[in-house]
Amino acid sequence: MKLVDIAEALDARVTGDGTIEVLRAVHPADAAGPEDLVIAMDKALLPLLATTPARAAVVLEGVLPPTGNVVACVVVKRAATAMAGLTTLFERPIHAEAGIHPTAVVAPDAVVGTGVSLGAFVFVGSRAVIGPGTIVMSHVTIGAEARVGAACLFHPGVRVGERVEIGDRVILHHNASIGADGFSFITPEPGSVETAKATGQVGASNRLLRRINSIGTVILGDDVEVGANSAIDRGTVTATRVGRNSKIDNLVQIGHNVVVGENCMICGLTGIAGSAVIGNRVVLAGRVGVADHQKIGDDAIVMAGSGVATNVPPKAVYGGYPAVPRDRALEQVVNIGRLKSLYAEVAALKARLKSVEPPPEKG
Amino acid sequence: MKLVDIAEALDARVTGDGTIEVLRAVHPADAAGPEDLVIAMDKALLPLLATTPARAAVVLEGVLPPTGNVVACVVVKRAATAMAGLTTLFERPIHAEAGIHPTAVVAPDAVVGTGVSLGAFVFVGSRAVIGPGTIVMSHVTIGAEARVGAACLFHPGVRVGERVEIGDRVILHHNASIGADGFSFITPEPGSVETAKATGQVGASNRLLRRINSIGTVILGDDVEVGANSAIDRGTVTATRVGRNSKIDNLVQIGHNVVVGENCMICGLTGIAGSAVIGNRVVLAGRVGVADHQKIGDDAIVMAGSGVATNVPPKAVYGGYPAVPRDRALEQVVNIGRLKSLYAEVAALKARLKSVEPPPEKG
Amino acid sequence: MKLVDIAEALDARVTGDGTIEVLRAVHPADAAGPEDLVIAMDKALLPLLATTPARAAVVLEGVLPPTGNVVACVVVKRAATAMAGLTTLFERPIHAEAGIHPTAVVAPDAVVGTGVSLGAFVFVGSRAVIGPGTIVMSHVTIGAEARVGAACLFHPGVRVGERVEIGDRVILHHNASIGADGFSFITPEPGSVETAKATGQVGASNRLLRRINSIGTVILGDDVEVGANSAIDRGTVTATRVGRNSKIDNLVQIGHNVVVGENCMICGLTGIAGSAVIGNRVVLAGRVGVADHQKIGDDAIVMAGSGVATNVPPKAVYGGYPAVPRDRALEQVVNIGRLKSLYAEVAALKARLKSVEPPPEKG
């Protein structure tokens, strides 16, 4: 690829010889030869350009790369946007063979679209439908009556439960579980949790647990992405839903009946308990918990590690355990840090006060 | 199904025409026609009944559904119990074919009971035993010498390790791991953690880590359920145990040698570290951590997001990080929230005190 | 195995008849007969020796086992070291058949070393390389162009992504994901998180999310171990790396571009966000979160449940949310616990102060 073409794709400009051709885009530490394009948009990486064997680099507008082998630069304005462009230009697409692998098991009444790739040991259940151009890698399960859209990419080990509905261009990573049963058990009489919520005390013993079956399903919108080893449970009666273009990281748990809006980003190890409602464009950072039935408004952000036990208004930034508005959360951290000196101060006040008080009367 | 029969199964009564027949139980928002039974036990859903095409609904005792197409109601007393009953009546059982799928690999010396269903790409190791009526969906591994009871249901991708023992009617969800090795490494001399626990300082460097192999196993009692992508590790020498009827949600980690009692509920993303002992009927809400070797008493409840670093007495409700009794945890949250005004108050006291103090003597 | 031989392997001594032969090493509660060696290095287990049917026990130096059937003891100095030795002597190796299972699918241009065991339903992609003596259990995926070293052990359901590089003697547990794509999405203009970081307020709406593809890979050093259902994502441009001999527990998430040093121990449900750098011999206890781009120094320890949002110096012990040095974290817990009495104290001071203040002037 010529530097001028890369620059055009990135809406960037070239300094130096734009006719230089590169084969790979690499981190400066990994550069191996003159056919490499080193990506050095982070200032901390610039010194590595002095010794790189590469002849071309991508740098941010306004920086001066050191002299060395690098004789041409693609100069970009915004690193994040450029990185999206670069990793598209130099994408390393998955190896997927055309057609249905001879070891795949496809129910005779399943409907497999044109151009679908089914890898080794793929199982497709009865009456399942797979849209055109979808790539299903090895070891994937697509349950009976599931409906999968077009141009999806399911990585090895993905489990799509029965009757689950998946939009177009959805990416599911290693071992993601879509449509396991919800975790829903009840006690015939009010149990320990119900009594504790009502009174603060455990007033009953859960000697009998009865299962609520999940007769609902999961519906994922177009362009959703779900990370490795994440789990989205089916709804009890209706569907658990993730809106179009929402992105879910690894090891995320989304409980039964949850509704996630569009364009959300939900980071690793986050858990959303049953029936919570997450708006559009919400960002849940890593290791967040959202309690059941809570609502998080559009465009809200929840900071990493927080435990959300209340509703969160739109556009709010919440943090802490329990989560509160960010400013209060930060203030609380500072206030807790100052406690040591507060205790000392109160002790000093006490002593000073004593010295201005009249002596106690004798009995 | 006739409404009168549904009502009888739910120990409920019918208002209106009990001879109406329904085919599906649905959320009011999903109702598509007169053959649907809409479940509207949540008051917030009642307004949807005004416009539903369904003719029959399930409602709570004491509410008045709006007029509309709904001409008959099943009237129930306790929503939770009714939901368990309804999702049993309208269960949508998994598609499992009778017998052993031709692609399944079963060791010649494995013992497979009558009526067992082994799906596509199932592997059953040497001398494993599977009890009658158990359903093993596609892509499941049952390790050598594992013993699985009767009438179990293993969803796709489940991994049952070698020698693991599983009771009757156990449900394992997508990709659950039962019997991976415990996480147990030691340093030949006391290492960084041991010295830090003893002195508060890192007094050693873990230059050599030696593995403790897990020669124990895992034993799951009857009616246990384990969620998607959860992991229960085998014991070091003896077994990690989960007592009968305990229910474990998705993405839960149960470490080596842990003993979980009966009828427990352990919610998503909870981790129980090695050798902890969880009593009977314990509820661990979502995202809880339990430190190694701690004991949690019968009927105790640990609130979501808590980190348990001590023993928890029976019937106690604990919360917070580190977890303390619920009342103290809630009090701490309030006290932390009030700190801003406390700092202001102490500053004001200081100023007031100064004004009543005699002026400092001059030096 | 004779007791004298066991003692020699453990660098221990024998009291009583060292010629006694044992077949199994068991927990005292599991002892079934005279051929069992009961492991009772924990003092709490000693009373069980009074009634065990076993004739031989392993005990710690300096304890006196009760009389009973036990007529000989292996007496050890350090329980942890002895346990590593005992579980090596009595290891129960996995059942792996020699050679390539007939159901395995191996790309014709893949290179499989001598003595490799490939189990049922294993998939090996194009140009992948597997070193000699490696055991790959059933249902494992090894992606195209992946390079796996010698003498590794991959448990059922492991997913090794394309181009991933794995050293020698690496152990991967059930369903571990090595090399899923990083979680990396950007907004063309600064989005909600960027504006909130800059101003504390959500100043933009993420109406467009653009994907940054992961063109990098994952490199695991020799003797690394990764737990069940854990996930290590590939780097954006370069590799996500885990150094030799580092041990990772179950349900751990390691984000794109993260570098983990050597000899680390990372416990269950911990998440390390993108581009964080973890030094050598670092211990992250269970349920820890490390924010993106943070650095944790060599030999540092992070306590369970902590959220690390800053760099951590070498040899430091950090705890809390947000994590601070251990002494401060413990002090904060104590200080928060004392708040109730502080509020009372300040109220009392206020009252006392009032009584020494002159009465307010009348207006």
Please report the pLDDT score of residue C295 as a whole number.
Answer: 98
Please report the pLDDT score of residue B64 as a whole number.
Answer: 83
Does the beta-carbon distance from B209 to C357 stay under 8 Å? Answer: no
Please report the pLDDT score of residue C363 as a whole number.
Answer: 56
How far apart are the C-alpha atoms of A82 and A12, rounded to whole Å?
9
Handedness of CA A183, A188, A192, A193 (dihedral sign): positive
Burial class (CB in 10 A: 0-12, 13-18, 19+), B245: buried
DSSP assignment letter at A98:
S
A 9-48 residues inside an 8 A Cβ radius of C: 25-27, 29-30, 39
Bigger pLDDT: A67 or B333?
Answer: B333
**Residue C211 at interface with chain A, using a CB cutoff of 8 Å:** yes
The letter for the amino acid at C241 is R
Give residue C67's pLDDT band: very low, low, confident or very high (50, 70, 90). Answer: confident
Helix (H/G/I), strand (E/B), else coil: B301: strand
Please report the pLDDT score of residue C11 as a whole number.
Answer: 95
Please report the pLDDT score of residue B63 as a whole number.
Answer: 87
Compute the average pLDDT of residues B93-120. Answer: 97
Give residue C277's pLDDT band: very low, low, confident or very high (50, 70, 90). Answer: very high
Please report the pLDDT score of residue B4 as a whole number.
Answer: 97
**Could you count the other beta carbons within 10 Å of the beta carbon of residue C344?**
10
How far apart are the C-alpha atoms of C63 and C221, rounded to whole Å?
41
Please report the pLDDT score of residue C99 as a whole number.
Answer: 97
To the nearest 10 degrees (0 to 180), the angle between helices B326-337 and A326-337 is 100
**Residue B339 at interface with chain A, using a CB cutoff of 8 Å:** yes
Give residue B336's pLDDT band: very low, low, confident or very high (50, 70, 90). Answer: very high
Question: What percentage of chain C carries pLDDT values higher than 70?
Answer: 99
**Could you count the other beta carbons within 10 Å of the beta carbon of residue C332?**
18
Q: Is the pLDDT assigned to residue B361 strictly greater than 80?
A: no
Does the beta-carbon distance from B126 to C339 stay under 8 Å? Answer: no
Please report the pLDDT score of residue A363 as a whole number.
Answer: 56
Q: Which residues of A are catalytic?
A: 256
First to last CA, chain A: 98
How far apart are the C-alpha atoms of B311 and B106, rounded to whole Å?
45
What's the residue count for chain B? 363
A 70-89 residues inside an 8 A Cβ radius of C: 80-81, 83-84, 86-88
**Could you count the other beta carbons within 10 Å of the beta carbon of residue A327?**
12
Compute the average pLDDT of residues C21-30. Answer: 95
Average pLDDT, chain B: 96
**Residue B200 at interface with chain C, using a CB cutoff of 8 Å:** yes
Task: Output the pTM of the full model.
Answer: 0.97
| Global ipTM | 0.96
Please report the pLDDT score of residue A148 as a whole number.
Answer: 98
The letter for the amino acid at C36 is D
Compute the average pLDDT of residues B109-138. Answer: 98
Please report the pLDDT score of residue A206 as a whole number.
Answer: 95
**Residue C238 at interface with chain B, using a CB cutoff of 8 Å:** no
Please report the pLDDT score of residue B80 as a whole number.
Answer: 94
**Residue A291 at interface with chain B, using a CB cutoff of 8 Å:** yes
Between chain A and chain C, the number of residue pairs with CB atoms below 8 A apart is: 225
Distant-in-sequence, close-in-space partners of B74: CB < 8 Å, separation ≥ 6: B3, B6, B7, B10, B12, B13, B14, B37, B56, B57, B58, B59
- In angstroms, what separates the C-alpha of A190 from chain C's closest C-alpha? 32
- In angstroms, what separates the C-alpha of B206 from chain A's closest C-alpha? 28
**Residue A237 at interface with chain B, using a CB cutoff of 8 Å:** yes
What domains lie within chain C, and their CATH numbers? 3-89 (3.40.1390.10), 99-324 (2.160.10.10)
Please report the pLDDT score of residue A228 as a whole number.
Answer: 98
Query: How far from chain centre, in Å, is Cα A164?
Result: 20
Q: What is the pLDDT of residues B137-153, one digit of tens each?
A: 999 999 999 999 999 99
To the nearest 10 degrees (0 to 180), the angle between helices B339-356 and B326-337 is 60
**Residue B263 at interface with chain A, using a CB cutoff of 8 Å:** yes
How far apart are the C-alpha atoms of A326 and A336, rounded to whole Å?
15
Q: Is the pLDDT assigned to residue C359 strictly greater than 90?
A: no
Q: What is the pLDDT of residues C89-142, one digit of tens each?
A: 999 999 999 999 999 999 999 999 999 999 999 999 999 999 999 999 999 999
Compute the average pLDDT of residues C224-252. Answer: 98
Give residue C64's pLDDT band: very low, low, confident or very high (50, 70, 90). Answer: confident
**Residue B45: what are its φ and ψ, rounded to 5°?**
-90, -15
CA angle in degrees (0–180, nearest 5) for C240-A281-A251? 40
Q: Is the pLDDT assigned to residue C163 strictly greater than 70?
A: yes
Does the beta-carbon distance from B271 to C286 stay under 8 Å? Answer: yes
Q: Is the pLDDT assigned to residue B129 strictly greater than 60?
A: yes
Nearest CB partner across the interface for C231, out of A138, A229, A245: A229
Q: Is the pLDDT assigned to residue B363 strictly greater than 60?
A: no
Please report the pLDDT score of residue A212 as a whole number.
Answer: 97
C 112-131 residues inside an 8 A Cβ radius of A: 121, 123, 125-126
Does the beta-carbon distance from B159 to C228 stay under 8 Å? Answer: yes
Please report the pLDDT score of residue B359 as a whole number.
Answer: 81
C226 forms beta bridges with C172, C248
Please report the pLDDT score of residue A253 as a whole number.
Answer: 98
Distant-in-sequence, close-in-space partners of B332: CB < 8 Å, separation ≥ 6: B320, B324, C336, C337, C339
What does pLDDT average to in each consecutive run of 10 residues of chain A (363 residues)?
A: 96 96 95 94 92 95 87 95 96 94 98 98 98 98 98 98 98 98 95 95 95 97 98 97 98 98 98 98 98 98 98 98 97 95 93 87 66
- In angstroms, what separates the C-alpha of C93 from chain A's closest C-alpha? 25
In terms of CA atoms, which chain A residue is nearest residue C187? A81
Question: What percentage of chain C carries pLDDT values higher than 90?
Answer: 93
In terms of CA atoms, which chain C residue is nearest residue A333? C322
Give residue C332's pLDDT band: very low, low, confident or very high (50, 70, 90). Answer: very high
